[in-house]
Amino acid sequence: MHKHHSALGLAAALRPDAPVTLVRPHAAERAARFFTQKFPGRVLYAVKANPSPDLLRVLWDGGVTHYDVASIVEVRLVRATLPEATLCFMHPVKSEEAIAEAYMVHGVRTFSLDTREELDKIVRATEGAEDLTLCVRLRVSSDHSKLSLAAKFGADPREAAPLLVAARQVADALGICFHVGSQAMSPQAYSNAMERVRTAIVEAGVTVDVVDVGGGFPSTYPGMEPPPLEAYFRTIHEAFESLPVSYSAELWCEPGRALSAEYASLLVRVERRRGDELYINDGAYGALFDAAHIGWRFPVSLVREGGSEAKPIDFSFYGPTCDDMDHMAGPFPLPADIAAGDYIEIGMLGAYGCAMRTKFNGFGSEETVEMNDEPMASLYAPMPAKVPARVVKL
């Protein structure tokens, strides 16, 4: 992998004719150290946000030793990349073959579920194993989040108590988990969900060993500037401390976006301008899926020697494919004199952007360059000098 100091230097030196992914390992490691030092419990990285092996190793170096995997492919990837990592299979619906391979071959001992059918499946696939940590997923509100995850998974209040009782009978450790949705904009999302956890525990009358608050921890984007992450941690800790759980119960979280968003950005070239529309060489079928399909606004910056003194105006983007849906409405504010041949850096694409690329129409980003400058936005204040991670390398 090539290294460079800045997007401007890269654009000036190489004049790339295809999108270039810019990665900042120091930003991801800073995020990992922030979570592992400040979250009042165990941190699991949600691999689906960005499964890059390079990123997985950076997070490991930052102290993240546990990984939330959602498919057998992710299980294999993380086990091959980080042989000593602890893997937790947190997708509530899995095939028996995937469960069996995860348990028998890769040493996975933690599984989530939200139905009795899934519980029975796990018991069969692990041949009645007695060393399982089973996390019952509750359905909770996504009202405080930008993207809902309330429809597909989670036991509803009527189902939760009997499912917890059944899981308790076969689990070595019993957990409760939930997901408040992606990009939660208020800590109240977690306090509300914890009330649902309290109700489920009381109704089931079981001893709970793990409370997993899932993901949803935000990053910062234009028009989506959340409170400090410490406010989320404080709210979660206070709610956890008030729950009727075992004195030795563990608190877990599963950040994805918050650990990976600042890791990567994208350098694209303007191929055509039509009024306030810019045709660029990446789009909806590349790293900008979210910008196209859910109207996500990412930070943008003109990358031009000498810059521009022109007043910013709002643009929309068209991607390079033949599809009209390859359109990102924005708005993306850029200088009014931007023209074909100019370069744009699009930031905060380390979460989901890098993971959701296709090769539709033959377009895509092949080159990755490591940068040593700062990301376009950050939720993390400068951290003190690096401290030893909770990882021992032999």
> Which of 72, 182, 199 lies closest to 138 in space, CA to CA?
199
Q: pLDDT value at position 87?
A: 98
Identify whether residues 253 and 267 lie together within a single domain. Answer: no
Q: pLDDT value at position 3?
A: 77
In a domain, 389, yes or no: no
Angle at 324 between CA 318 and CA 326, to 5 degrees: 45
Identify whether residues 163 and 304 lie together within a single domain. Answer: no
SS3 annotation, 166-216: HHHHHCCEEEEECCCCEEECCCHHHHHHHHHHHHHHHHHCCCCCEEECCCC
Residues of the chain with pLDDT under 70: 1, 381-394
In a domain, 221, yes or no: yes
User: What's 224's DSSP letter?
Assistant: B
Q: pLDDT value at position 383?
A: 45
Q: Tell me the DSSP string of 227-273.
A: PPHHHHHHHHHHHHHTS---TT-EEEE--SHHHHGGGEEEEEEEEEE
Identify whether residues 106 and 239 lie together within a single domain. Answer: yes
- Of 232, 260, 288, which residue is a domain's last? 260
Identify whether residues 119 and 215 lie together within a single domain. Answer: yes
Identify whether residues 313 and 255 lie together within a single domain. Answer: no
- Of 203, 237, 260, which residue is a domain's last? 260
Q: pLDDT value at position 139?
A: 92
pTM exceeds 0.85, yes or no: yes
Q: pLDDT value at position 143?
A: 85
In a domain, 282, yes or no: yes
Question: Domain limits at 280?
Answer: 2-22+262-371
What is the C-alpha separation between 220 and 211, in angstroms, rounded?
A: 26
User: Is the CB of residue 218 less than 8 Å from the CB of residue 257?
Assistant: yes
Identify whether residues 112 and 239 lie together within a single domain. Answer: yes
| Structural domain count of the chain | 2
Q: pLDDT value at position 379?
A: 93
The CATH number of the domain holding residue 337 is 2.40.37.10
Identify whether residues 77 and 6 lie together within a single domain. Answer: no
Q: pLDDT value at position 360?
A: 83
Q: pLDDT value at position 382?
A: 61
Identify whether residues 215 and 345 lie together within a single domain. Answer: no
- Of 217, 243, 260, which residue is a domain's last? 260
Identify whether residues 239 and 270 lie together within a single domain. Answer: no
Q: pLDDT value at position 270?
A: 97
Q: pLDDT value at position 58?
A: 98
